[in-house]
Amino acid sequence: MFAREIELRGHIIDNLILPKAFDTILELEGDYKVLEFDIGKRKTDPSYAKLLVIGKNQSHLDRILEELQNIGAEIPEIEDVEVKAAERDKVLPDGFYSTTNHPTYIKYNGEWILVEKPKMDAVIVVYPDEKRAETKVMRDVKKGDLVVVGHKGIRVMPPERPREKGELFEFMNSEVSAEKPKQAIIRKIANEMYQIREEYRKTGKGGIAVVGGPAIIHTGGAPALAKLIKMGYVQALLAGNALATHDMESVLYGTSLGVDIKTGKPVLGGHKHHIYTINTIMKAGSIKNAVEQGVLKKGIMYECVKNNVPYVLAGSIRDDGPLPDVIPNTIEAQNKMREAILDKKMVIMMATLLHSIATGNLMPSYIKTVCVDINSDAVTKLMDRGTSQAIGVVTDVGVFITLLVEELERMEMERK
Amino acid sequence: MFAREIELRGHIIDNLILPKAFDTILELEGDYKVLEFDIGKRKTDPSYAKLLVIGKNQSHLDRILEELQNIGAEIPEIEDVEVKAAERDKVLPDGFYSTTNHPTYIKYNGEWILVEKPKMDAVIVVYPDEKRAETKVMRDVKKGDLVVVGHKGIRVMPPERPREKGELFEFMNSEVSAEKPKQAIIRKIANEMYQIREEYRKTGKGGIAVVGGPAIIHTGGAPALAKLIKMGYVQALLAGNALATHDMESVLYGTSLGVDIKTGKPVLGGHKHHIYTINTIMKAGSIKNAVEQGVLKKGIMYECVKNNVPYVLAGSIRDDGPLPDVIPNTIEAQNKMREAILDKKMVIMMATLLHSIATGNLMPSYIKTVCVDINSDAVTKLMDRGTSQAIGVVTDVGVFITLLVEELERMEMERK
Amino acid sequence: MFAREIELRGHIIDNLILPKAFDTILELEGDYKVLEFDIGKRKTDPSYAKLLVIGKNQSHLDRILEELQNIGAEIPEIEDVEVKAAERDKVLPDGFYSTTNHPTYIKYNGEWILVEKPKMDAVIVVYPDEKRAETKVMRDVKKGDLVVVGHKGIRVMPPERPREKGELFEFMNSEVSAEKPKQAIIRKIANEMYQIREEYRKTGKGGIAVVGGPAIIHTGGAPALAKLIKMGYVQALLAGNALATHDMESVLYGTSLGVDIKTGKPVLGGHKHHIYTINTIMKAGSIKNAVEQGVLKKGIMYECVKNNVPYVLAGSIRDDGPLPDVIPNTIEAQNKMREAILDKKMVIMMATLLHSIATGNLMPSYIKTVCVDINSDAVTKLMDRGTSQAIGVVTDVGVFITLLVEELERMEMERK
Amino acid sequence: MFAREIELRGHIIDNLILPKAFDTILELEGDYKVLEFDIGKRKTDPSYAKLLVIGKNQSHLDRILEELQNIGAEIPEIEDVEVKAAERDKVLPDGFYSTTNHPTYIKYNGEWILVEKPKMDAVIVVYPDEKRAETKVMRDVKKGDLVVVGHKGIRVMPPERPREKGELFEFMNSEVSAEKPKQAIIRKIANEMYQIREEYRKTGKGGIAVVGGPAIIHTGGAPALAKLIKMGYVQALLAGNALATHDMESVLYGTSLGVDIKTGKPVLGGHKHHIYTINTIMKAGSIKNAVEQGVLKKGIMYECVKNNVPYVLAGSIRDDGPLPDVIPNTIEAQNKMREAILDKKMVIMMATLLHSIATGNLMPSYIKTVCVDINSDAVTKLMDRGTSQAIGVVTDVGVFITLLVEELERMEMERK
């Protein structure tokens, strides 16, 4: 018989881990027997289950076990991970283990090692001398890298759902539809942001990243985002050529994509403003230079420069210009984005499917995520990316960010 | 040769009337010759065109002429309208003329008579004794009614596009997409509303009608709409069972469809609150009674009662209950809606496709229209209904109405 | 201590009943102790849990118990239901029990009675002499009716999720997004329909209801729906004035809302065709008469008449006309719709939010539901109505129904 | 007085050129006098208008003239273009002329030269020795390049609207909403494609480019697109890493993003298939190698290789991997895309906003464009990009392409 014991621990019923385990076995046409089951008697008690998982043959059993591991099951008397050296640069050994975005441990030489830089759809490379392991994307794998294969010796730790009542992120992956009151949500997000900023000010760690699209400027949200940066709530800005160009266009010409920000009407000839803006920055040499030369005197990009907030402007095939600060190589841009995001406590994604999904692909599951878009399909797509503490808000982004800043100002007044 | 002269007058080039005339003839495979053309030499001058329209046979020519009339062409040396008596109730004579929603004149006994109560897709009934004509919907036609048939003696006057720069409604049927700044638009709408209310206060004529769906309450916009009524900006409310029920639910239970308005989270057992609310009003006998008995102490419906604002709650097959104030018969509801809307200067439609399209079907083209919805498809559908001075705003309705009221309050302070 | 034992039985882990019970208690700030827990050892074995539920006071405990009942918990040593007589027509006694759409039993005089005509948001009325109980909507309650109040003696049976692999409806409430292959889904729906029709032919029971909007005709799906009726796959049609009118317009004039069905282009003057169509039916007196008089020779409504398929055309305030067959009173229309739907095995909802939600409100949870719309928001809204075996398909409805009929024809060929 | 004569020629009324000219002058607060106006007497006759345009000062007049030129006005007794040398690489001289995507002539040394490679938002660089001019994007401008500045000596030729009745593209920028019959449109598109392919086969010129997103594969459209390529209807494929990867995933594993193409259900472990696929191609070295080594035996990419259809796979920050054939540098990718598109007769854009808008930015206005997406917002955005012969179809893309291929096959049978 091809069978193996697995164990599940924690709040496995209300975190849906046990139901998912049963579903997985059922779906893969495996079988199981419950060997032990110890349900938490009170709501604070964890539960425990020991199952015997049964497969049709060894590879069938292995496949089931692999899936069960990804939802958090442990395989007791665990063996070491198996590793294989890559034979060529960028080419993975057969049977490589593809990561989730959850914190993951591997057992190597009898010891549990936490894998660094968690990320989805990557592989785990082990450095035996340093007793270290980290995720690598396929293209960074070098000949000779020791890549984890199979499923032995791996333990995935999906974040537990917060059990505190009243928590913003108590609903896993909840979505706030267009037909919900937004003020309450904004208040909770503001509160969370306030705490993160305070912690960042004390420790210099964590902080908030903003991922944004040009609709922030089109919808009149630029002044609010600029103020958010000035107030110290943004520790990194991930965007593209369009957000930066239209922000500076709105500062230099009062328009966004040629539409007057004050009146909402197209200005004749305004469709050239973004090209003029890019040419102005080209002359200055960079956004930083433009700020220092006094060419750019306010706005989102200005505040980033003035407040030393790092920004990553990732290139796209839609770009006009692009600005000299844009990174045209998408692989280089991904690397910079990942660097900027890895240590953050929260990411706020606004009005950009491209940059938001790209960021979601690069980040660990424990970073809190807020997705804002007027299109509910976009929000749903973003919420499906596997972050565990995410909230989606379907609303007008220009209004959202304006109300968010007002709430933060009110909060600061009260808490002084 | 089957041909006939027609005339076009006014700003027929920038109002697109001449291009549309050419298109129409082309599309119907007719032919034309330009007999006279006098272009306005300066931008304030009207233009004039006399065309010879040529058809393949009389009925082909008639068909072309009918279409040209609907876009405003005149047929000189015009004959009287032709009328036929309806043979049975609700049954129209063959060849009946189906109306546009534009102001329309008919020539009867040599005199031009303005048709009362303009409305789309209706017929014109003539009362010779009273020298009067009015539109009637099919179901109201009685045996013996004199119904206009054919296309002779009819003159349609599509409203001219305002030529003032800076006018809110200068764009005919313009749509404000999700990616536009909303503050500027809100300011202009508020300004227009202020003027209409002032005029209403002086003359007791005109005023504003609000057409609304329950998402106003779900998105937290109820207090703002209640205030709008209190401030005197609403002269009629067109809605359904859901808006009234959820407004009163939010007053009685603090929830809307069971979702806490303050926290945005579902309240356990809250899905019953709307049923409890309806039962409460059933006990009182009507919304008015509930206000007078002190059961209902604030909210949208409360302000309607207190400020004598007439409301029409039209029934729908989706209704639970419904409330005793709801008109379950849709034909009766249409009649009440039309009465409420006919003399208004502006209609604001928010977050309801059903009631908004129904209202659009009932109203003349000269009433200014503002459509607000978070779904751009809904806004586009509403803008396609043929009103000539309409503006569509794609945004979060709860936030829209809150900002609108803030703007009106600011305006009142300044203008005092 | 205010505490009470409850029991949960069945596949309570993978049907998520146990997790939901824990969530509910937690959410309502109650407490619990697990007294017994017997997990099914093998995947076919049911599980059993006995919990002690603890509340702060009697009414708090009652509230928790009520919610637990609605998800299927039993309260052992159960007492009889409590009933109160309605004091007036249409007015409910305080504390009335508001129903779910699941099959429900009540204990009355020591016996369990199945409540007839399950429906959401209604009340249960007991007829002691007949040992019978049924749901009633508020407006049908008469003075003296014995209405169930409180939560004692009630047992709700939410349908179990099918455990068969490969079942179409094995995912509860799953939604098929725009980005999914539709052919596979269509094949499964066709298969299900085939079986239901075969059973209907044998037993005269069950069958399929179609709920449809006019977009079926606009998108070119009318011939396919007509064929579906002819082939015997439709036992009831629930729609409105628009579907019927545009279907007959397409038969009489080749257009739908004035757009040529063959070329997709607007026909000049075509916007009057629907009014002409209504007038034609007015003359005939009814759709049935028009078929019998040879005026109407094909199409959806024609096939309904020819194949004795009952149709309910519910009125709405958007209606032009309406047709003589339309029921303008929405309450009467609801009653007819409910009658038509109660005994069906499957409902297919296509391209109408209004009629689909109205139908969803009226039907028991065990009827299989297929929702088709090009708008994912509409599908999501429909799927949230609490049916337990529902599938949502985001696609072009004209194409969907055409492919569905092709699949059924293929299936009939093969199975002959 | 700051005034200047301009001339307008052609079907300036029904092409809306004259109304637009009036609007433009009005909007910019200029004035005009009509000096001559000669209306085409019959529908085939062109019209002619000579206007005196009046500005407040020279720069105001210049601004108006510039806008008028962009809609096709000529300034008689025209002077030569003015050029200025760029002082640095990538930096444009002040007052540079920013191009439209319409065919454009410049008068240089008294001669009219057609500007090569028309494209929006670029500049015109003149090569006096070669009597040649072409557009250049800002980043390609080199120090010393002679860039056109101001507005003198430029003539823009917006394509005339086809006057043939029954033409697919007779509506400029028309959009086919979700509520339209699709079969008719598909037939017309197929007919257009057939003619373009026949011409391409004879002359080796023109042809069709397809721009596609991965939803083609997710919705089951991959086999149809592969067949389209095989049948000779595709002369270039513009896509990204996702389309290529999921196409090959569907060939190698039967899934697309882990969802079984046949059943529409997620395959457990399937989320790794795209990573496995990329690794497989990495091992082979390239898609071409994979085809030659027999690893890849069918599908879209296979047919491209087999039929020598060039493809451009442009990189994006969302990419996993990416495949070795992907161009990670977005500027390089833009250049390749432009090369691939410039000489085509038609572009079909399916289910990708990113690649479609990028392509729209790069192409001249005379290429016929078909945009297909299930999201009407996406189609509207694409249609707003300024192509003059574009048609938008809101439908399910997998079904669209399947029906398109069926129609082409039928057409080929008939015309043999």
Distance CA D314, CA D127 (A): 31
pLDDT at B133: 96
State yes or no: pLDDT of A86 exceeds 60.
yes
Dihedral of the CA atoms C59, C65, C68, C74 (nearest 10)?
-170
Helix axes B330-341, B353-362, angle to 10 degrees: 60
| Residues in chain C closer than 8 A to B268 (CB atoms) | 24, 27-28, 63, 67
The rounded percent of chain C whose pLDDT value lies above 90 is 57
Instruction: Band the pLDDT of D278: cuts 50, 70, 90.
Output: very high
pLDDT at A250: 96
Arithmetic mean of pLDDT, A170-198: 78
Q: Are B317 and C316 in contact (CB under 8 A)?
A: yes
State yes or no: pLDDT of A226 exceeds 70.
yes
User: D192 is in which domain, residue-wise?
Assistant: 168-415
**Among the listed residues B299, B210, B293, the one whose alpha carbon sits nearest the alpha carbon of residue B250:** B299
Contact D13 B14 (CB under 8 A): no
Residue A213, phi-psi category: left (phi > 0), alpha (psi -120 to 50), beta (remainder): beta
| Contact with chain A for residue C316, Cβ under 8 A | no
**ipTM, interface predicted TM-score of the complex:** 0.86
| Contact with chain A for residue C285, Cβ under 8 A | no
Which residues 41-70 of D are in CB contact (within 8 Å) with B? 41-43, 49
Q: Are A56 and A74 in contact (CB under 8 A)?
A: no
Tell me the pairing of strands C104-108 and C154-156: antiparallel
Question: What's chain C's Rg over C-alpha atoms?
Answer: 24
DSSP assigned state of B25? H
Q: Mark whether B382 and B238 lie in a shared domain.
A: yes
Q: Mark whether B224 and B325 lie in a shared domain.
A: yes
- Which candidate in B41, B48, B180, B379 is best for mutational testing of the D interface (most D CBs within 10 A)? B41
A403 found inside a domain: yes
Distance CA B377, CA B384 (A): 11
Q: Least CB-CB distance to D318: which of A137, A322, A357?
A: A357
For C7, phi then psi, to 5°, come to: -125, 145
Q: Least CB-CB distance to A398: which of B182, B218, B219?
A: B182
Q: Least CB-CB distance to C263: which of D184, D220, D260?
A: D184
State yes or no: pLDDT of A386 exceeds 60.
no
Q: Least CB-CB distance to D13: which of B19, B25, B41?
A: B19
Arithmetic mean of pLDDT, C206-233: 96
Q: Mark whether B184 and B320 lie in a shared domain.
A: yes
| Residues in chain D closer than 8 A to A330 (CB atoms) | 315-317, 319, 328-330
Nearest CA in chain D to A280: D91
Nearest CA in chain D to A281: D91
User: Over the stretch D27-83, which tens digit does the pLDDT of each residue have?
Assistant: 788 888 877 777 776 767 788 888 888 888 888 888 888 888 888 888 776 689 999
Single-letter residue type at C414: E
Mean pLDDT (chain B, rounded):
88
State yes or no: pLDDT of C166 exceeds 50.
no
Contact B264 A219 (CB under 8 A): no
Contact D91 A375 (CB under 8 A): no
Mean pLDDT (chain C, rounded):
88
Instruction: Band the pLDDT of A233: cuts 50, 70, 90.
Output: very high
Arithmetic mean of pLDDT, B53-64: 86
- Average the pLDDT over each of A257-261, C132-136, D284-288 and give the range with the smallest value: A257-261
DSSP assigned state of B30? -
Instruction: Band the pLDDT of A339: cuts 50, 70, 90.
Output: very high
Distance CA D68, CA D90 (A): 28
Of A172 and C328, which is predicted with more confidence? C328
CATH number at residue A17: 3.30.70.2690
Q: Least CB-CB distance to C185: which of D179, D180, D264?
A: D264
Contact B121 C316 (CB under 8 A): no
- Beta bridge partner(s), residue B126: B133, B146
Of B156 and B385, which is predicted with more confidence? B156
Instruction: Band the pLDDT of B66: cuts 50, 70, 90.
Output: confident
With vertex at residue D400, the alpha carbon angle to CA D398 and CA D401, rounded to the nearest 5 degrees, is: 70
Contact A19 C19 (CB under 8 A): yes
| Contact with chain D for residue B31, Cβ under 8 A | yes
Contact C264 D180 (CB under 8 A): yes
pLDDT at C102: 86
Q: Least CB-CB distance to D91: which of A283, A375, A377?
A: A283
Arithmetic mean of pLDDT, A8-16: 77
The rounded percent of chain C whose pLDDT value lies above 70 is 92
Distance CA A415, CA B8 (A): 69
pLDDT at B125: 97
Mean pLDDT (chain A, rounded):
88
Q: Are C248 and C242 in contact (CB under 8 A)?
A: no
Instruction: Band the pLDDT of D249: cuts 50, 70, 90.
Output: very high
Q: Least CB-CB distance to C31: which of A13, A22, A43?
A: A43
pLDDT at C45: 76
Dihedral of the CA atoms A174, A180, A182, A183 (nearest 10)?
-120
pLDDT at A201: 96
Tell me the shortest Cα–Cα distance from D23 to chain B, in angstroms.
7
Q: Mark whether D101 and D43 lie in a shared domain.
A: no
The two structure tokens encoding residue A336: 């910079």
Instruction: Band the pLDDT of C170: cuts 50, 70, 90.
Output: very low
Q: Least CB-CB distance to D98: which of A121, A275, A331?
A: A275
Q: Mark whether C11 and C150 lie in a shared domain.
A: no
- Beta bridge partner(s), residue C62: none
pLDDT at C285: 95
- Average the pLDDT over each of B260-269, C109-118, D372-381 and give the range with the smallest value: B260-269
| Contact with chain A for residue B195, Cβ under 8 A | no
Q: In what order do the strands lie in the sheet with D31-38?
A: D2-10, D47-55, D31-38
Q: Are D38 and D8 in contact (CB under 8 A)?
A: no
**Where a domain ends, among A76, A104, A129?**
A76
Instruction: Band the pLDDT of B171: cuts 50, 70, 90.
Output: very low
CB count within 10 Å of CB B128 equals 11
**Where a domain ends, among C43, C76, C109?**
C76
Arithmetic mean of pLDDT, A373-381: 83
Contact B165 D376 (CB under 8 A): no
pLDDT at C165: 46
Q: Mark whether A98 and A63 lie in a shared domain.
A: no
With vertex at residue D373, the alpha carbon angle to CA D372 and CA D375, rounded to the nearest 5 degrees, is: 145
Q: Least CB-CB distance to C13: which of A19, A40, A41?
A: A19
Distance CA D11, CA A359 (A): 51
Arithmetic mean of pLDDT, A12-18: 76
User: Over the stretch C300-349, which tens digit does the pLDDT of each residue have?
Assistant: 999 999 999 999 999 999 999 999 999 999 999 999 999 999 999 999 99
User: Over the stretch B184-220, which tens digit does the pLDDT of each residue have?
Assistant: 889 889 999 999 999 999 999 999 999 999 999 999 9
pLDDT at A171: 39
Distance CA D125, CA D245 (A): 39
Q: Mark whether D265 and D193 lie in a shared domain.
A: yes
- Which candidate in B179, B261, B397 is best for mutational testing of the A interface (most A CBs within 10 A)? B179
Q: Least CB-CB distance to A377: which of C40, C165, C376?
A: C376
Instruction: Band the pLDDT of D171: cuts 50, 70, 90.
Output: very low
Q: Mark whether C248 and C152 lie in a shared domain.
A: no
| Residues in chain D closer than 8 A to B18 (CB atoms) | 13
Question: Which subunits sit against C, judged by 3+ Cβ pairs under 8 A?
Answer: A, B, D
State yes or no: pLDDT of A77 exceeds 70.
no
Instruction: Band the pLDDT of A380: cuts 50, 70, 90.
Output: confident
DSSP assigned state of B285? S
State yes or no: pLDDT of A172 exceeds 50.
no
The H-or-E segment that residue C280 falls in is: helix C273-284
Q: Mark whether B183 and B198 lie in a shared domain.
A: yes
CATH number at residue C152: 2.40.420.10
Of D210 and C264, which is predicted with more confidence? D210
Of C204 and A79, which is predicted with more confidence? C204
Instruction: Band the pLDDT of D388: cuts 50, 70, 90.
Output: low
Number of domains in chain C: 3
D163 found inside a domain: no
**Where a domain ends, among C23, C55, C76?**
C76
The H-or-E segment that residue D27 falls in is: helix D17-27
The contacts found for A112-120 with CB under 8 angstroms, 24 or more apart, are: A112/A155, A117/A338, A117/A342, A117/A364, A118/A364, A118/A365, A119/A338, A119/A361, A119/A362, A119/A363, A119/A364, A120/A361, A120/A385, A120/A386
State yes or no: pLDDT of A73 exceeds 70.
yes
Question: Which subunits sit against A, judged by 3+ Cβ pairs under 8 A?
Answer: B, C, D
| Contact with chain C for residue B329, Cβ under 8 A | yes
Task: Give whichever of B319-333, C255-269, D104-118 has the largest mean pLDDT.
Answer: B319-333
| Residues in chain A closer than 8 A to D124 (CB atoms) | none
User: Over the stretch C9-57, which tens digit does the pLDDT of each residue have?
Assistant: 887 876 778 878 887 887 788 888 877 777 776 766 788 888 888 888 8
User: Over the stretch A317-328, which tens digit does the pLDDT of each residue have?
Assistant: 999 999 999 999
Contact A37 C33 (CB under 8 A): no
Nearest CA in chain C to B318: C358
- Give residues with Cβ within 8 angstroms of A105, minimum separation 6: A112, A113, A114, A115, A154, A155, A157
| Residues in chain D closer than 8 A to B33 (CB atoms) | 41-42
Q: Mark whether A138 and A250 lie in a shared domain.
A: no
C316 found inside a domain: yes
Of B276 and A270, which is predicted with more confidence? B276
Distance CA B165, CA B160 (A): 14
Q: Are D188 and D407 in contact (CB under 8 A)?
A: no
| Contact with chain B for residue D165, Cβ under 8 A | yes
DSSP assigned state of C286? S
Single-letter residue type at C342: L
CB count within 10 Å of CB C76 equals 9
Tell me the shortest Cα–Cα distance from A301 to chain B, in angstroms.
19
Tell me the shortest Cα–Cα distance from C122 to chain B, in angstroms.
9
pLDDT at C32: 81
Which residues 378-407 of C are in CB contact (within 8 Å) with D? 394-396, 398-399, 403
Q: What are the CA-CA distances from residue A289 to residues A244, A322, A333 (Å)?
A: 14, 16, 21
pLDDT at D182: 81
User: Over the stretch B215-242, which tens digit does the pLDDT of each residue have?
Assistant: 999 999 999 999 999 999 999 999 999 9
Q: Mark whether D277 and D373 lie in a shared domain.
A: yes
Tell me the shortest Cα–Cα distance from C241 to chain A, in angstroms.
28
The 3-class secondary structure across chain A, one letter per residue, is CEEEEEEEEECCCCCCHHHHHHHHHHHCCCEEEEEEEECCCCCCCCEEEEEEEEECCHHHHHHHHHHHHHCCCECCCCCCCEEEECCECCECCCCECCCCCCCEEEEECCEEEECECCCCCCEEEEEHHHCEEEEECHHHCCCCCEEEECCCCEEECCCCCCCCCCCHHHCCCEEECCCCCHHHHHHHHHHHHHHHHHHHHHHCCCCEEEEECCHHHHCCCHHHHHHHHHCCCCCEEEEEHHHHHHHHHHHHHCEECCEECCCCCECCCHHHHHHHHHHHHHHHCCHHHHHHCCCCCCCHHHHHHHCCCCEEEECCCCCCCCCCCCECEHHHHHHHHHHHHCCCCEEEEECCHHHHHHHHHHCCCCCEEEEEECCHHHHHHHHCCCCCCEEEEECCHHHHHHHHHHHHHHHHHHHC
Place of tokens 């308005």: B261
With vertex at residue D138, the alpha carbon angle to CA D134 and CA D142, rounded to the nearest 5 degrees, is: 75
- Give residues with Cβ within 8 angstroms of D11, minimum separation 6: D17, D40, D46, D47, D160, D161, D163
Q: What are the CA-CA distances from residue B161 to residues B136, B187, B202 (Å)?
A: 28, 21, 27
C46 found inside a domain: yes
State yes or no: pLDDT of A165 exceeds 50.
no
Tell me the pairing of strands C346-350 and A259-260: unpaired
Single-letter residue type at B240: G
Q: Are B22 and D14 in contact (CB under 8 A)?
A: yes
Distance CA B239, CA D84 (A): 63
Q: Least CB-CB distance to B318: which of C91, C354, C375?
A: C354
**Among the listed residues C76, C90, C84, the one whose alpha carbon sits nearest the alpha carbon of residue C48:** C76
C163 found inside a domain: no
Instruction: Band the pLDDT of B131: cuts 50, 70, 90.
Output: very high
Distance CA B306, CA B227 (A): 12
User: Over the stretch B136-147, which tens digit does the pLDDT of each residue have?
Assistant: 999 999 999 999
Distance CA D220, CA D246 (A): 11
| Residues in chain A closer than 8 A to C41 (CB atoms) | 33-34
Q: Mark whether C138 and C177 lie in a shared domain.
A: no
- Give residues with Cβ within 8 angstroms of A260, minimum separation 6: A254, A266, A267, A270, B184
pLDDT at A43: 65
Contact C32 A23 (CB under 8 A): no
Distance CA A408, CA A186 (A): 9
- Average the pLDDT over each of A5-9, A33-37, A176-180, C326-330 and give the range with the smallest value: A176-180
| Residues in chain A closer than 8 A to B261 (CB atoms) | 181, 184
Q: Are A361 and A341 in contact (CB under 8 A)?
A: no
Task: Tell me if the bond preceding B103 is cis, omega within 30° of 0.
Answer: no
CB count within 10 Å of CB D1 equals 8
The rounded percent of chain A whose pLDDT value lies above 70 is 92
Length of chain D equals 416
Instruction: Band the pLDDT of B296: cuts 50, 70, 90.
Output: very high
Arithmetic mean of pLDDT, C63-81: 82
Task: Report CA torsion sign: D113, D119, D122, D127.
Answer: negative
pLDDT at D43: 66
Q: Are C46 and C10 in contact (CB under 8 A)?
A: yes
The H-or-E segment that residue C209 falls in is: strand C208-212
Arithmetic mean of pLDDT, D143-168: 75
